[in-house]
Amino acid sequence: MRRTRQELPKEETLEILKRNTSGVLALCGMDQKPYAVPLSYVYANQKLYFHVALEGYKLELLNQNPNASFCVIDKDEILPEKFTTKYKSVIVQGKITVADEHEKRNAITHLAKKYAPDMDPQDEIDRFWNQFLILVLEPATCTGKQGIELVEDGLQL
């Protein structure tokens, strides 16, 4: 990271991944045309998990190139008088694989608990089991960053 003063501590970076519910997955196939798509996710077992359909453009691109980037925006407060924003974000980069049956069950259970914490998801999971895949993004890098205004606010405390 070029502006190391703005880098978030690892613990805060991981907390941002744990508490947020969506981000943007960026992929690029052999044609070198970038593709970014917003997705729900869960961070568990030091990995990011996404549920997707059995076929589609994301899978086509991943078959060509498994490298991916995922961005989560945690804070975005516009400061019009300064022509800037107070922000916090996380970018994860790594390779995406398709989960095996065991990891798929574990990941979809984590996803269900995150998005429907008061419900028992097992009947729904079993009913749709053969209609989805779980993509796994194992981070090679995971970097959190905050706007300089937040850094300066922290220095004033």
**157 is a domain residue:** no
Instruction: Check which CATH number belongs to the domain holding 126 and give it.
Output: 2.30.110.10
Domain span at 125: 4-150
Specify the number of domains making up the chain: 1
Q: Which of 109, 110, 107 is nearest to 122 (CA)?
A: 109
**Predicted TM-score (pTM) of this structure:** 0.89
Query: What tens-digit pLDDT sequence spans the chain (157 residues)?
Result: 565 668 898 999 999 999 999 999 999 988 889 999 999 999 999 999 999 999 999 999 999 999 999 999 998 888 888 887 788 999 999 999 999 999 999 999 999 999 999 999 999 999 999 999 999 999 999 999 987 667 676 644 3
- CA dihedral (119, 21, 57, 92) positive or negative: negative
**111 is a domain residue:** yes
**155 is a domain residue:** no
**156 is a domain residue:** no
